[in-house]
Amino acid sequence: MKVPTNAPWSSQELDSFFYQPADSFFRGNPGLSLTYDDVTLATLYSEILPKDANFETRLGSGLDLHLPIVSADMDTVTESRMAIALALNGGLGLIHYNMPPRQQLSEVSRVKNHIHGLIREPIKVHPEQCIGDVLGLIEEKKFSFSTFPVVDKDDTLLGLLPGHCVRPRFANRGVGEAMIKRDGVLTIRESDLGDDPIQRADRFFTEHIGIHKLLVVDADDRLKGLFTLSDIERISQERSLQTKPARDSKFRLLCGAAVSAPRKADGSIDKDQLLGHVEALVERGLDAVAVSTAHGHTLGVGEAVKAIRQALPDLTIIAGNVTSAAGVEFLAKNGANTVKVGQGPGSICTTRVVAGVGIPQLTALYVCSQAAREHGVTILADGGITKSGDVVKALTLADAVVCGSLLAGCPEAPGQILEINGKFYKQYRGMGSHAAMKAGSAARYGHAREVSQKSAAEGVEALKEVSAPADTVLAQLAGGLQSGMGYLGASSLTELRANARYTRITPAGLRESAPHDIIEVKTGG
C-alpha cells in the first residue's frame, strides 16, 4: 500500500494503512505464511449487538447450518452421539470411517432417527400377528415405544395397536382383536398437510387432547407416515430458539459421514465398493459425504469424487484436504461442493514435521478462498482451532470450521476415559497415528491397509482432559463468535468476511492478548 504523504493523516488513512482487508494484507505479504496467532483483527464501528449476529451458512444445496461448526471425522471425536449434539446446536457432525461399513450405516441411522418430523416409514404390524410377536420385535429392535399402526399387505390402514395392550399377559392374543378399529383412529390426509406439516400436526395435537400419534394416509387410505406428539413439541419449541437445530427437508437432524477411496489389488479405485457404500448411506438419509484424506489433490481422490458426483448428482460432497488454489480447483472440477483446507495444523498432527509439507492455516485459507470463490464452492477451515477467537479469524475467510481437539474431551466423543492421579482424561489420537491407521485410516495417508512400524506416522496418540458436554463447548464457541462479529459490526458471516481488517502481531503482542502478570482465581462453578 502507498504511504500517505500528507500530514497529518486522516483517521481513515491511518486505519486503512495499518489495518488492511484480506486482499491487501495477504498479497502484501507474499512468501510469508501466517496462522491464527500471527494476526489480530481490528475493531470497527458497529450498530449491532452480539446477540443479533446471524451464523447461518450454506455448504451445499439443502445443507444449511445455523452454527458454522463441523466436528472432525476422527475416531476419537465423531460418532452418532457427537453428530447428534452438533446437529441439535445447528452444526454438522462427520462420522468417521474407522469402523465396519455396517456400523457406520447404523451410526448414521441413529442420527437421522433421533427426532422425527414426519416419519415416512413407520414401524407397522399386521392383524394376523400375535402380541407376542410385537413384544419380540420391541425387544429385538430396542424400541422405546409400543403403539403401532396396523395395516394389510397393501399398507391400507386397518387400525391402531395401543401400547396398553402390548403386555406379556396378552402375548397369545391376536393383534386384530386388540387393535382400535379403523373408524376409531383419527388420521389426516397427506394432501391436507399444506406447506408447513409441523404446524398442521401441532394444531391437530392441540385440538385432540390425549392423542399422541397422528397417522397420515393418502386418498386410498394407505398409510404414508405418522407424527408423534413428543417430536412435534420439541420441533415447535426449537422454532423460538436463537440457534436452531440443523435439519433436512423432512425435519430430521443433518448428518455427514466420511469415506475412504477403497482400492483393488492393482491399485485402482474400487468404484463399485465405494458407490455401494455411499448409496447405502444416502438411503439412511445421509446429507453430506466427505472424501477425506490427508492429501486431497491426488488422482485417487479426484476419481472418487467424480464417481460419487456422477452417481449421486444432488448429494453434497466434501473433499480434501488441500492448501493450494490448484487443489481447490481440482476438487471443484471433479464435483466437490465443499473443500477442506488444512494440512498439519491439528494439535495431534505431525505431517509438517514428518513430511516437511503444509502451509500455516490462515494463509492457506486465504489462497484457497480465492479459488473457491472463482469456482463456486465453499471451504472448511480444518485444524488449528484452539479457541473461539480462532473461529472468528477462520470465518473471515472460510464458510465453516472443523473442530477436533476442542470436542475430543466432551462426554459425547467416543474416546476411552482414563483416570490418572484423580483426573479424568479421554483418548485422543490423530488419524495418522499408527493405532488409527491400523484401525482402518491407513488409506487416508497413502499407506497399504496393513500398516507396519516402518510406515511414517503423521499423527500422535494423546490424552485430553474430560471437558464439559458438547452443548457447553459449542455455546462458548458461539458466544465468542458473536462477540467477534459484534466488534466488527457484522450481522452475518458475509459481512464478517467483508469487514475483516488484519494486522500482524509479534510474540509480545500475542502474550499481551491473553491474561498475563496475574494469579488467576477461579470464582465460579
Asked whether the beta carbons of 295 and 321 are under 8 A apart, the reply is: yes
Q: Which amino acid is at 387?
A: K
pLDDT, averaged across the chain: 90
Model-wide pTM > 0.85:
no
> What's the pLDDT tens digit per position in 44-70?
999 999 999 999 999 988 899 999 999
State the fold for domain 131-238: CBS-domain (3.10.580)
What is the per-residue pLDDT for 447?
47
> What's the pLDDT tens digit per position in 107-133?
999 999 887 788 888 999 999 999 999
Give the three cell numbers for residue 56.
447461518
pLDDT at 455 > cutoff 50 = yes
What is the per-residue pLDDT for 461?
78
What is the per-residue pLDDT for 261?
87
What is the per-residue pLDDT for 445?
45
Sign, Cα dihedral of 486, 246, 276, 113: positive
pLDDT at 188 > cutoff 80 = yes
CB proximity list for 175: less than 8 A, separation 6 or greater:
125, 126, 127, 128, 129, 130, 131, 133, 134, 150, 161
Going by pLDDT thresholds of 50, 70 and 90, the confidence category of residue 250 is confident
Active site residues: 349, 444
> From start to end of 383-470, where are the E strands?
400-403, 417-420, 423-429, 461-465
Going by pLDDT thresholds of 50, 70 and 90, the confidence category of residue 444 is very low
Asked whether the beta carbons of 257 and 94 are under 8 A apart, the reply is: yes
pLDDT at 251 > cutoff 90 = no
Helix/strand/coil for 522? coil
What is the per-residue pLDDT for 4?
61
Going by pLDDT thresholds of 50, 70 and 90, the confidence category of residue 441 is very low
pLDDT at 425 > cutoff 70 = yes
DSSP letters, 225-282, are: EEEEHHHHHHHHHHTTSSSPPPB-TTSPBP-EEEE---B-TTS-B-HHHHHHHHHHHH
Q: Measure the CA–CA gap between 374 and 400, rounded to whole angstroms.
A: 18
CB proximity list for 71: less than 8 A, separation 6 or greater:
77, 78, 82, 83, 86, 91, 92, 93, 94, 402, 403, 404, 407
> What's the pLDDT tens digit per position in 296-346?
999 999 999 999 999 999 999 999 999 999 999 999 999 999 999 999 888
* Residue pointed to by grid coordinates 470436542: 407
Q: Where in the chain is the domain with CATH 3.20.20.70?
A: 50-114+253-513
Q: Measure the CA–CA gap between 459 and 133, rounded to whole angstroms.
A: 50
Q: Which amino acid is at 131?
A: I
Q: How many CB atoms lie within 10 A of CB 484?
A: 23
Instruction: Give the pairing of strands 316-322 and 288-292.
Output: parallel
The predicted model gives 372-400 an average pLDDT of 97
Give the three cell numbers for residue 247.
435439519
Asked whether the beta carbons of 410 and 420 are under 8 A apart, the reply is: no
Going by pLDDT thresholds of 50, 70 and 90, the confidence category of residue 257 is very high
Q: Measure the CA–CA gap between 459 and 344, rounded to whole angstroms.
A: 9
Tell me which range, 194-203, 286-295, 461-470, is most confidently predicted by mean pLDDT.
286-295
The predicted model gives 145-168 an average pLDDT of 95
**Which residue did the predictor score with more confidence, 5 or 384?**
384
Q: Where in the chain is the domain with CATH 3.10.580.10?
A: 131-238
Q: For the packed helices 271-283 and 299-311, what is the interaxial angle rounded to 10 degrees? A: 50
The predicted model gives 130-155 an average pLDDT of 93
The predicted model gives 284-296 an average pLDDT of 95
CB proximity list for 188: less than 8 A, separation 6 or greater:
200, 201, 204, 214, 215, 216, 217
Give the three cell numbers for residue 271.
468404484
Q: The domain at 50-114+253-513 falls in which architecture?
A: Alpha-Beta Barrel (3.20)
Candidate from 13-27, 239-253, 264-278 with smallest mean pLDDT: 239-253
Going by pLDDT thresholds of 50, 70 and 90, the confidence category of residue 143 is confident
Which region holds residue 155: left if phi is over 0, alpha if psi is between -120 and 50, else beta? left
What is the per-residue pLDDT for 453?
52
**Residue 259: closest CA among 99, 452, 384:** 99
Residue 79, phi then psi, degrees to nearest 5: -125, -160
Sign, Cα dihedral of 507, 510, 512, 514: negative
